[in-house]
Structure 1
Amino acid sequence: MKIQTSVPTSKVARASQFMKAGVKVGGNYIKHYSKKLIDPSLSKDELHKDNAADIYEALSELKGSALKMAQMLSMDRGLLPVAYSDKFAMAQYSAPPLSGPLVVKTFITYFGKSPSQLFDKFTIEAVNAASIGQVHQAWKDGKKLAVKVQYPGVADAVSSDLRIAKPLAVRLLNLNERDIDRYMGEVESKLLEETDYELELKRSIEISEACAHIPDVVFPKYYPELSSKRILTMDWLDGMHLKEFMKTNPSQDVRNQIGQALWDFYDFQIHTLRQVHADPHPGNFLMRPDGSMGVIDFGCVKVIPDFYYDNYFRLVNPDTLEDPVLTEEIFNNLEFLTPEDSPKDRVFFSDLFKEMTLMLAEPFAVDTFDFGDDRYFNKVYAFAEGLANVQELKNSKVARGSQDGLYVNRTYYGLYAMLNELKARVVTTKPEWLRSTKVLV
């Protein structure tokens, strides 16, 4: 694997990297359309593959928020062509690692000691490298540890990176610049939190202790004395990432068991703690043959405001959508509808969001849901793809949906996607007030 000896930290150096990616993307388009003149039937597959490789190469060298954006996009099947999502998925745990001297320098900066002085044994080569930091194995007092080391400069570059990346995102994803601006503050605040390992340490301990009773969910112990603002030390957890685990051909019972653990973990956080591990990509979960699952990385935690929670989850109860007055009130509260909407717009967007709500809430409408049913997911992806062509959304003068929905929806999207890949059948536990009062035949 390629080893990185430095990370661009100045605004000029990082902006140049984005520009370089933009130039390569432009060149790829020229090459594609030149070929298309000769062969009009040529698809965009090669173009997407070339663009994905060039953009990922640039972002992986920048690390931090730039690479985190790629990781987030890799989870959104339907938003990106497969070539992009497959390539960007590498950001979850297979980014190019930093060289040993940079790792040692980070320890000297925050502890005044090298890793070999702090631990009985420390592997200078990273075993995993993701968007914000990389993981090393270490041993102390007979315990095997995981030591996460943050890439230098990523915390200071979050805000400027997002500003620089916006034009590339608008062009690549054909997104509305107004919509991106609406949610930029929420994304920026979460990325800044993810670079604060002292905050992550606090949340990791609090949430793992609160969730310790959930069957088949395992958490590491954390070590404050071996952690700092840019270094985080915890017990080493054995297990496999989802794709690797599925290659072992686990039984349906084991997949159901892990799927149930995932559902119960998120159900408890959202409905009891009102704060949630909002980064449910496969790199943060370790699957085991016995049906248990290790959970790591509480860097991205969404605290759910009561007002948003009450309105969002009232929509999950199927009885709500049968009450047009209540539904309109909630759509206003969640900013699906706005005061600027004409009567025609209100009818159109109400119907659109009712359809979306019914579809995404299907797992809650039954006691047991088969997440291995690809028909459901194909329907959801087709709906999402269709939204991109809805002229009323394109022409709307306002962005729709509360900022708080960004990470809540992302959480459920990631959870559903993982359960689908597991092909798990799950008992969809939920608060009693989310159940319909009608008797289902």
Structure 2
Amino acid sequence: MKEQTNIPTGKVERAGRFVSTGFKVGTNYLKHYTRKLMDPSVSKEQLHADNAEDIYDTLSNLKGSALKVAQMLSMDKGMLPKAYTERFALSQYSAPPLSGPLVVNTFVKTLGKTPTELYDQFEMQARNAASIGQVHKAVKWNKELAVKIQYPGVANSVKSDLRIVKPFAIRIVGMNEVDMDKYFDEIEGKLLEETDYKLELQRSMEVSAQCAPIANLVFPVYYPALSSERIITMDWLSGYHLKEFLERNPSQEVRDKIGQALWDFYQFQVHALKKVHADPHPGNFLMRDDGTVAVFDFGCIKEIPEDFYVNYFLLTNKEVLKDEARRKEIYTNLEMIHPSDTEKEIIFFSGLFQQMINLLTLPFTVAEFDFGDESYFTEIYAYMDYLYNLKEVRDSKVARGSRHSLYINRTYFGLYSILSDLKAKIITSEERIKSMMQTLHAEKV
């Protein structure tokens, strides 16, 4: 893969790249409508493919927040046309890496020494490159290490990048600007945290230690002395990213073990820690033939407020939701319906949300769930597409859903997506969650 020798860091230069990309997208639309005049049967597939390529090429070279938004969108299957999700998925671990001189410069600026002075061996060519940083392999103390290096200018460009990328997101997703304003504030806060590698290092060590007793999970050891505000050094972990792992044709037993480990990992964080690794894309996991899975990259941690937690998980309680007054109260607390809604709007949106909740919470309401059931996900995506095209939803003047739901929903969508690709059949009962929490608590005591 071709390396980058520089990254635009100035606001004007980065904005200029977006403007030029906007012109390309406009040209793609012009080409599409010209083809449509010649042949009315022409679909939008080529338009989506052209736009996805042009937008991704710009974002992948700018790195940072803009590329992170693309990564987030790639996880929301059903929200975007397939061409976008496939192209944007490259941001998970296959963005163009930085060149050697930029890497060395980062070490000298933040740790005062070059990589060859700090490690016994250091591979100058990155093994993986994503949205916020890239990973190199090194050796020290006869240990293989992974060294994560943040791209220059990422932290300083978060606010300006999000302002620039918002119009693209509005156009691609079709969401009203009022929704984008509400959720982009949440995104901005999380992205600023992700650029703070000292905070990530602290969280990585804390959450890894808390979740270490969960069966079939593997976490790296972290090395603060070899880390800085833009560098994190940890153990090098072996394994395969999801796509590579599935190409090895793992047995159903192994798929189920990994799926169960991931399910337990997320349930324990949400219910016991009230904070969660909210970046569950395949680039953050390495899967192994023995049914274990390595977990890393704790840059994006969503802390869950107690009142939101209580109301959010009441949505999985069918008996509670049978009470119309109680259901309305929960929907209001979660900002799914608003005090300003008319009675007609309350009935309309409550009905839409209830059907969606019935679908999305199904795994929580049964003892076991088969995430390999393609009909389940087909039904979810079809319903999301139905919602997306409803005039009443698109014309809604208020953002529906708490800002806290953005990253929690993202976490579960990402988890569901991985479990679906694994075709894992796992235990999802409430009793398992309670039992696991009791066991882990007893081990700590």
Fold conserved between structures, TM > 0.5: yes
Secondary structure in structure 1 of the residue aligned to 2:184: helix
Residue identity opposite 2:420 in structure 1: N
- Aligned 1:225-244 pairs, distance under 5 A: 225-244=225-244
CA–CA separation in structure 1 for the residues paired with 2:432 and 2:322: 18
Q: Does 1:154 align with 2:157?
A: no
TM, length-normalised to structure 2? 0.96
- Aligned 1:211-226 pairs, distance under 5 A: 211-226=211-226
Shift of 1:320: 1.5
What count of residue pairs does the alignment treat as equivalent? 434
* Alignment match, 1:19: 19
Shift of 1:40: 1.1
Shift of 1:390: 1.5
Secondary structure in structure 2 of the residue aligned to 1:107: helix
8 Å Cα contact 2:134/2:149 also seen in 1: yes
Secondary structure in structure 1 of the residue aligned to 2:27: helix
CA–CA separation in structure 1 for the residues paired with 2:173 and 2:30: 18
The change in CA–CA distance for 1:433 and 1:266 in structure 2 (over 3 A counts) is closer
Secondary structure in structure 2 of the residue aligned to 1:388: helix
* Alignment match, 1:76: 76
* Alignment match, 1:345: 345
Secondary structure in structure 1 of the residue aligned to 2:339: coil
CA–CA separation in structure 1 for the residues paired with 2:426 and 2:137: 34
Q: Does 1:55 align with 2:55?
A: yes
Secondary structure in structure 1 of the residue aligned to 2:78: coil
CA–CA separation in structure 1 for the residues paired with 2:292 and 2:221: 17
Secondary structure in structure 2 of the residue aligned to 1:404: helix
Give the stretch that moved more between structures: 409-418 or 323-332: 323-332
CA–CA separation in structure 1 for the residues paired with 2:165 and 2:266: 31
Shift of 1:172: 2.6
TM, length-normalised to structure 1? 0.97
CA–CA separation in structure 2 for the residues paired with 1:226 and 1:298: 17
* Alignment match, 1:121: 121
* Alignment match, 2:398: 398
Give the stretch that moved more between structures: 270-279 or 324-333: 324-333
Shift of 1:395: 2.2
Shift of 1:430: 2.8
Shift of 1:74: 0.5
CA–CA separation in structure 1 for the residues paired with 2:40 and 2:432: 57
8 Å Cα contact 1:264/1:429 also seen in 2: no
* Alignment match, 1:363: 363
Secondary structure in structure 1 of the residue aligned to 2:245: helix
The change in CA–CA distance for 1:420 and 1:433 in structure 2 (over 3 A counts) is closer
* Alignment match, 1:248: 248
Give the stretch that moved more between structures: 295-304 or 388-397: 388-397
* Alignment match, 1:10: 10
Q: Does 1:187 align with 2:193?
A: no
Secondary structure in structure 1 of the residue aligned to 2:311: helix
Shift of 1:44: 1.2
CA–CA separation in structure 2 for the residues paired with 1:43 and 1:284: 35
CA–CA separation in structure 2 for the residues paired with 1:182 and 1:148: 31
> Cα deviations across residues 37-91 of structure 1 (Å, max 9, x unaligned)?
1111111111111111110000001000000011001101111111110000000
Q: Which runs of 5+ in 2 are unaligned?
A: 435-445
> Cα deviations across residues 341-394 of structure 1 (Å, max 9, x unaligned)?
111111111111111111111001100000000100000001111111122222
Shift of 1:432: 8.1
CA–CA separation in structure 2 for the residues paired with 1:171 and 1:208: 39
CA–CA separation in structure 1 for the residues paired with 2:174 and 2:335: 23
Q: Does 1:198 align with 2:191?
A: no
CA–CA separation in structure 2 for the residues paired with 1:172 and 1:207: 35
> Cα deviations across residues 71-112 of structure 1 (Å, max 9, x unaligned)?
001101111111110000000000000000000000000011
* Alignment match, 1:419: 419
RMSD: 1.1
8 Å Cα contact 1:60/1:91 also seen in 2: yes
* Alignment match, 1:378: 378
* Alignment match, 2:93: 93
The change in CA–CA distance for 1:429 and 1:146 in structure 2 (over 3 A counts) is farther
Secondary structure in structure 2 of the residue aligned to 1:319: helix
- Aligned 1:168-317 pairs, distance under 5 A: 168-317=168-317
Among all aligned residue pairs of Structure 1 and Structure 2, give the percentage whose two residues are the same amino acid. 60
Shift of 1:429: 3.9
Shift of 1:433: 10
Q: Which runs of 5+ in 1 are unaligned?
A: 435-441
CA–CA separation in structure 1 for the residues paired with 2:279 and 2:169: 20
CA–CA separation in structure 2 for the residues paired with 1:152 and 1:123: 19
Runs of 4+ in 1 over 4 A off after TM superposition: 431-434
* Alignment match, 1:437: none
> Cα deviations across residues 122-142 of structure 1 (Å, max 9, x unaligned)?
000000000000000000010
Give the stretch that moved more between structures: 165-174 or 270-279: 165-174
